[in-house]
Each structure stands twice: as C-alpha cells, then as structure tokens.
Amino acid sequence: MIAKLQNPAVAALLGILLSVGVGVSVALRTLTPLIEQAFVVPVKAPPAELKVKGWDFWTIEIDNLSNELKEERARLRKQSELMDQRAARLAAEERELGKVRADVEALRKEIAAKVIEVTADESKNLRTLAQTYAALTPRGAVAIFREMDDTTAVKILSLMKSDIVGPIFEEMSKTATPDGLPLARRAALLSEKLRLMKSAKQSS
C-alpha cells in the first residue's frame, strides 16, 4: 500500500482529487446563500391604488362591479331628487287646491247669503200680501216696497206674476228717493236677488 502511494502517478491523482474536493467545498460554501436567495419568491407590496381601494388585488370584474355600483348610486340619487321634486309639486298643487276649495266655499256662502228662500210658515201670509199688492197700481206698490226691506220685498215679488212685477220695476226706476236719487239701483238689486231666488227654486 505504501509502495502504491509512493508511485508518482498515484500521488498526482490524489493531489488532483484533493484539490477538486477543496474547490467544491469552497464553491458550495460560496454558492449556497446565492442559491437560497434565487429560490425565495419576493413579496411585492400592493400598489398604493389598491391600498386606497381596500383590496390586495384588483381585477377587471371587480372594476366593472365598482363602476356598476357607482352608476346605480347615481341613478338612485337622481331618482330621489325627482321624487323630492314631485312631492314638492304635489304639495304646491294641494295648497292651490285648498285655496280654490276655500274660494269656492266662500262664493257658495256668498251666494247662499244672497239667495232668499220662502219658508213654509210664512208662505201663506206672503201669498196674501202678494195678491194684495198685485191689485194695486205700480205707483202704489212702489210706495210700499220703498219702505220695505229687500228680503221681504223679494219674497213678495217672487209670488207675483212677471206681467205685474215688470210695471212695478218700471215705476221704481222712474221714482226718486226722498234725497232725490232714483230707485233704479234698488230695482236692479231686487231683480238680481229675485233671479237668484228663482234659480234656487228651479235647481231644487
């Protein structure tokens, strides 16, 4: 064995093997950290945009969903504004309708105040007076109506025939009051109240 080791060829071979072993050992010590780093997958920090959106990842589907949600939110906001405008319009129309209703009610009360009705209790006495005044001359009837209130005068005139009332109004338009004013204005007023009274009778 010693004789073999003393052989120059064997000694040279052992020297080469020893040199290669030392070189491999040194190379492994140097390359091991580099190999480990090569196999480590680097962890990238999420982009600032994704951090703002609250996601660690962002895809086209998520982006489309985000856009749809934004459009739906805008649509709902617009619809809410339209509903508010419609509610305001309805409130204004309701106020206007209330005003019209109040005006109609006031007009109805005003007409009701002008319309004169003959009750059943006074009908008999009024008919008697109407027959009596109808037998008078127009001047005599005017003299009596001049001293009578409008309501009573209209009730009596309503029970007279038109061919009798006409001459009475004509005479009234020619007659003057004690202060010199003609009774034509009162004749027109009595005529209007008489018209309303007859209209009320016909509608009932």
pLDDT tens-digit map of 136-163: 999 999 999 988 888 889 989 988 998 9
CA 179 – CA 184 distance, rounded (Å): 14
The answer on 139 and 104 residing in a single domain is no
pTM score, whole prediction: 0.41
Same domain, 187 and 127: yes
**pLDDT interval class at 6 (50, 70, 90):** low
Residue 18 belongs to domain spanning: 2-39
Whole-number pLDDT of residue 66: 83
Domain boundary among 97, 114, 131: 114
Residue 56 reports pLDDT greater than 90: no
Are 128 and 151 within 8 A, CB to CB?
no
The alpha carbon of residue 14 and the mean position of all alpha carbons in its chain are separated, in whole angstroms, by: 105
Same domain, residue pair 128 and 199: yes
φ, ψ of residue 165 to 5 degrees: the values are: -65, -40
Contact 136, 166 (CB under 8 A): no
Indicate whether 102 and 141 sit together in one domain.
no
pLDDT digits (tens, 9 = 90+) for 162-181: 899 999 999 988 887 777 66
Residues 53, 101 within the same domain: yes
**Shared domain check, 188 and 150:** yes
**Tens digits of per-residue pLDDT, 127-138?**
999 999 999 999
Structural domain tally of the chain? 3
Q: Does residue 6 sit in the same domain as residue 78? A: no
pLDDT at position 113: 57
Query: In whole angstroms, what is the distance from residue 22 CA to residue 116 CA?
Result: 138
* 126 shares a domain with 95: no
What confidence tens digit (pLDDT) does each residue in 95-118 have? Answer: 888 888 887 777 666 655 555 666
Query: Is residue 186 very low, low, confident or very high in pLDDT (cuts 50, 70, 90)?
Result: confident
pLDDT, residue 141, reads: 92
Kindly provide the residue ranges of all beta strands, DSSP E only, lying in the chain, ordered along the sequence.
none
Last residue of a domain, one of 54, 84, 114: 114
Instruction: Work out the angle at residue 191's Cα, subtended by the Cα atoms of residues 162 and 155, and round it to the nearest 5 degrees.
Output: 75
pLDDT at position 39 over 60: no
**pLDDT > 70? residue 202:** no
